[in-house]
Structure 1
Amino acid sequence: MADPVVSERLPGDVHWYDLPDDEAEPDETPEAPPRARRWTIGGKVRRAVRNSAAILLLLALWEALPRLGVVDRVFVPPLSENLVAWSDLLVSGRLPEHLEASLVRSLAGFGLAIVLAIPLGLLIGWYKPVADFLTPLLELFRNTSAVALLPVFTLILGIGETTKITFVLYACSWPILLNTISGVKTVEPLLIKSARSMGLGPVRLFQKVILPAAVPTIFTGVRLAGAYSILVLLFAEMVGAKAGLGYLILETQSSFRIPDMYAGIITISVLGLLFNLLLVGVERRFSTWRTS
């Protein structure tokens, strides 16, 4: 019977049984010890504080400068007084009423802009004859301020809800439309050539390559439009409106209820921030195909 062959280990040889558990079983990630988890949580807290330091400084200055007499507290009340006014408006029901009116108008115009501008942008970006036909018209209107056209909307549509929603629709359509066109036109040409070499037809090419590659740029336009939907609405609500955050700000300013005016401004700022965070979450949901 032949002697068994014994492999001779050379210096530097590493075998699976020499490795620690985390290297021998790479697919199994052991749970972090409590101390490591505490460090992770502490790092997240420090990062959150660091990222919000500028906002915290602004709020502190807003509270301190009027009380120290650096700015006139009649025109710039301390933050605490504005928050008290905000609380009073909330309890009385006036703030929810104005907020609801603004949200309905803003979301209606914003939603219509998404439904209309994204398909049109895809069409213009993908089909050159359509782009050649519509580009001169787009260049004419893209350089015209939406706020400058508000009197035109008012003259044609009156001062009702249709004017406000249409005005938001017009203002929100441009960032979505232009970013969609740019997203389609700036797709990596190598991706298109590779897809065509694999036999993808125009429809499958658009579905599998063009549209996924354009998603990040499209969502950039959608996020810009989300901010516009709130900002331009304020102008529309200052003309012939009886409810809405824009009306609240104008009415409280004219009656010299300054803390109530700042309460409306704070509400708009928080609303815009939450809206942007929501759109960022939706963008991440639709962009999971990208590698980090």
Structure 2
Amino acid sequence: MSSLEMLTLLELAQGRPATLGGAGEQSSSAPKEFRRAIRWLGAFGRRSLLLLVLLAAWEAVPRLGLADPTFLPPFSEVLKAGWQLALSGELYDDVAASLLRALSGFLISVVLVVPLGLVIGWYGRLGSLLNQIIEIARNTAPLALLPVFILLLGIGEVSKVTMVIYSCAWPLLLNTIAAVKQVDPLLIKSARTMGATPQQLFRKVILPASLPTIFVGIRLASAAAMLVLVASEMVGAKAGLGYLIIYSQYSFLIPQMYFGILGITVLGLAFNAILEVLERHFMRWKAPAV
């Protein structure tokens, strides 16, 4: 009897799978991984079908003469212009400047406004006192205040970051206040009945129950940050994607202008994807929707 046969008999006697069978199972796992990858690609293709059709139409319409290529260049020409910007280093400078301004204003607004919204939502009298001021301020368009911020704070970084903070504040504040007010009163009563302290009530009941709505406000604030940032960079800026768009328009660099618009879109999508990951992380306790 060979050593391989003896090893197989020993493994069978001990209730373990044979070595040859284990190797077969390992080899069969490769097709499973391949099939899983194929299914993922198929699902991604179905979700992205409309986007791919739109990009194909963008490429075909100007080339077929259905639109003036001067004003609507093919998608490949837009990508070529972006590649040239990347090679020159200008794209990196513009993206870095926009990211710094957007992230700074967004994070400052989250740190300041979310706790304020929790307090206002929990203390009803304070909410009633501040309600009129909040309604007036949130209905004043941030872009309408752009000249005021420039006059008071100059055309430097402070005015741009402040604009982002202001635009992010209202979706954050309103959603946080609504989140606290929508907490089930039975949960609060049950926690108090079981002897929970105010700190425990906030940490174990109020904050977890409010997180889904707070994250809605955070994602809305991220979109508002990108919108206002582009507008503020079009005035008195020397770098940034908004500056790239307006400079390309004035210089009649149309493919470059379109690439700047795409860059803003990609940044917004990446920002939203990161927030979705954070939302899933902080709400692991929540049962997934069926």
Deviations for 1:61-99, whole angstroms, at most 9, x for unmatched residues? 110111011111110000000000000000001111111
Identity of aligned residues (%): 53
- Corresponding residue for residue 6 of structure 2: none
Q: Which residue of 92, 95, 99 maps to 1:96?
A: 92
Amino acid across the alignment from 1:54:
L
- Summarize the alignment of residues 49-198 of structure 1 with structure 2, pairs less than 5 Å apart: 49-198=45-194
Structure number with higher helix proportion? 2
Find the aligned partners of 2:34 and 2:92 in 1 and give their Cα distance: 40
Aligned-partner Cα distance in 1 for 2:49–2:133: 45
Counterpart of 2:103 in structure 1: which amino acid? L
In 2, Cα distance between the equivalents of 1:169 and 1:158?
Answer: 16
The alignment partner of 2:223 has SS state of helix
How far residue 41 of structure 1 moved from its aligned partner, in angstroms, is 3.3
3-state SS of 1:159 partner: coil
> What is the total number of aligned residue pairs between the two structures?
263
Q: CA deviation at 1:201?
A: 2.4
| 1:154 maps to amino acid | I
Selected match of 1:276 from 252, 263, 272: 272
- Separation in 2, partners of 1:255, 1:202: 60
Q: TM-score, normalised by structure 2?
A: 0.87
Structure 1, gaps ≥5 residues long: 1-29
The CA deviation string for residues 115-155 of structure 1, in whole angstroms up to 9 with x for no partner, is 11101000000111211111111011111111111111111
1:109 Cα deviation after fit: 0.5
Aligned-residue offset at 1:217 = 0.8
Q: Which of 232, 235, 239 is residue 235 of structure 2 equivalent to?
A: 239
Q: Distance in 2 between matches of 1:248 and 1:234?
A: 10
Mapped to 2, the partners of 1:91 and 1:248 lie a distance apart of 15
How far is 1:37 from its partner? 4.9
- What secondary structure, in the 3-state scheme, does the structure 2 residue paired with 1:59 have? helix
C-alpha RMSD over aligned residues: 1.7
Residue type of the partner of 1:275? Answer: F
TM-score, scaled relative to structure 1: 0.86
Deviations 1:7-41 (A, max 9, x none): xxxxxxxxxxxxxxxxxxxxxxx99x646555443
Match of 1:288 among 266, 270, 284: 284
How far has the Cα of 1:160 moved from its partner? 1.2
Where do 5+ consecutive residues of structure 2 fail to align?
1-24
Inter-partner Cα distance in structure 1 for 2:71 and 2:127:
51
1:30-55 superposed Cα distances (whole Å, 9 cap, x missing partner): 99x64655544333222111111111
C-alpha separation between the residues in 2 aligned to 1:188 and 1:36? 45
